[in-house]
Amino acid sequence: MTIKRIATLSLPLIAAALCSACVFAPPVTTVSDTDQLAKMGQQAVATCGSGNVKEVNTKSFVCK
């Protein structure tokens, strides 16, 4: 009988523990995406040359 009682009492505790899990959010950055995109665009033109930039995003660029 005690094993059944322990199982019955532990079920709500386990359910409560699972529902109270931590949520991790990505870090907040202070530089906006448009500022980062402009900076990467300038770096792309400086590296590839004017008219030779194929693609630019906030993290990288591709030359033609």
Q: pLDDT tens digits for 1-41?
A: 577 777 777 877 777 766 665 666 666 655 678 888 999 99
Asked whether residue 43 is assigned to any structural domain, the reply reads yes
Q: How many domains does the chain contain in total?
A: 1
Asked whether residue 23 is assigned to any structural domain, the reply reads no
In terms of phi and psi (left: phi > 0; alpha: psi -120 to 50; beta: otherwise), the region of 38 is alpha
46: pLDDT strictly greater than 90: yes
Task: Give the predicted TM-score (pTM) of the model.
Answer: 0.51
Q: 3-state DSSP call for residue 28?
A: coil
Which residues span the domain enclosing 59? 31-64
Asked whether residue 5 is assigned to any structural domain, the reply reads no
How far apart, in whole angstroms, are the C-alpha atoms of residue 54 and residue 47? 12
Asked whether residue 49 is assigned to any structural domain, the reply reads yes
Asked whether residue 42 is assigned to any structural domain, the reply reads yes
More confident residue, 51 or 18: 51
Asked whether residue 63 is assigned to any structural domain, the reply reads yes
Asked whether residue 41 is assigned to any structural domain, the reply reads yes
58: pLDDT strictly greater than 90: no
